[in-house]
Amino acid sequence: MNECEYNTQQSSIQLSPFFHQVGGHSSMFQYDKDTVCKVLELPELDFYQSMPDSLKKFTPEFRGIISVQYCEDEFGFIKLIARPQTTCTDDDQISNEENISITTDPQSIDTNNPKKSVQLRCSKDGHIDYSNSIGNDIVNYEQGKTIISKINPWSLQLCKKKAEKLHQELMDAGYVTVAQKYMLLEDVTARFRHPCILDLKMGKRQYADIDSDKKRQSKIQKCASSTSSTLGVRLCGMQVYQIDSGRFMFTDKYRGRILTVEGFRSELAEFFNNGRIKRLDIVPEIIERLKSLYETINSLPKYRFYSGSLLIVYDGLPQSNRIDIRMIDFAHSICASTTDETTASNNHLGPDRGYLFGLERLIDAFKEIFNDRTKSTINIDT
């Protein structure tokens, strides 16, 4: 029995790609039907475990920690096997035994969904690619180009890059498996039949206090050359369900970086375009949720959400008016809870003005889109 076979029998579950990841730089995976997992970063874990109650309705629910093993079977098929994290060392600086509340039943994953059959395979020469035709969605994918596809090519590309990195670590170390810790988070898209997703990088500053000079300058440049500097928000990814084709329209972060102010507003308008009509009927509710988020952040002095993103989700099912808005990505978020003058965070007093500025501009843009109804109809086709 090889290592892959052994671990799948130890109260474990095999992860699959998370197909609704429209942004970010690190691959996320599907754990069960309403839970995703993300590589654990201690600052982000600390934020989830200590965030104020007022923010929890605007963030994914934290559901614990798992240990994930990367392995390749005798046929080259790649598997990511997850097991609950029940113990930790002092070096881990993680205390999570009371926080784990997860499902380890493999049947919790919908195996009838053809997307779940996507598998990565490593050839004898070390080349990694998808083992079935669904991987062809990324063959002709060009960064910065809007495309129509069944599966988001961005999520597939990130999965492949992650597998390539882990494969190299496995080869370098000469191990049978490579292990890594992940956080379990609520899958915000789970309750939507056809989730239309807008991923927005918020704020006029994205670098953290602890970033190196090189990384800081890179992030400053990205902000200066994009709508982050003028609007306090930029597009990081988008998918919109197209009714007639049954596919999604995808836009990635590279396109978001080159958008002008007018281009950004036009892209926001396209977020509501299902190929037949523009779903302007849901815009007022989005505006009200954004106003509520604004009030919440404005009430949190000393907090900074650097490099954080905002997800706006609605259902592409024409009869549905369900929406959701969540803040994500807290690896660089901080709270100046100390008065020590030697602490860099001590300079962060009052609410996060950059994030609030972005919310203001975003609300204005949605108001403009809603008020420009002479070019669109809000009647819902059934």
Question: What type of residue is 187?
Answer: D
Region at 350 (left for phi over 0; alpha for psi -120 to 50; beta for the rest): left
- The low-confidence residues of the chain, meaning pLDDT below 50, are 1-10, 86-114, 116, 338-346, 376-382
pLDDT at residue 102, as a whole number: 28
pLDDT at residue 344, as a whole number: 45
pLDDT at residue 359, as a whole number: 98
pLDDT at residue 133, as a whole number: 57
Would you state the structure tokens that stand for residue 200, as one six-digit string? Answer: 């927005």
CA dist., res. 76 & res. 125, Å (int): 11
Nearest to 348 by CA among 337, 359, 364: 337
pLDDT at residue 44, as a whole number: 95
pLDDT at residue 201, as a whole number: 96
pLDDT at residue 117, as a whole number: 56
**Strands, E assignment, 25-116:** 29-32, 35-39, 62-72, 78-84
Q: Which structural domains are found in the chain, ordered by start?
A: 13-86+120-186 (no CATH), 195-373 (3.30.470.160)
Q: Give the strand order in the sheet containing 247-252.
A: 147-149, 247-252, 233-242, 195-202, 309-315, 323-328
Nearest to 219 by CA among 328, 112, 306, 294: 306
Instruction: Give tens-digit pLDDT for 214-242.
Output: 888 888 888 888 999 999 999 999 999 99
**Contacts of 382 by beta carbon, 8 Å cutoff, 6+ apart:** 318, 319
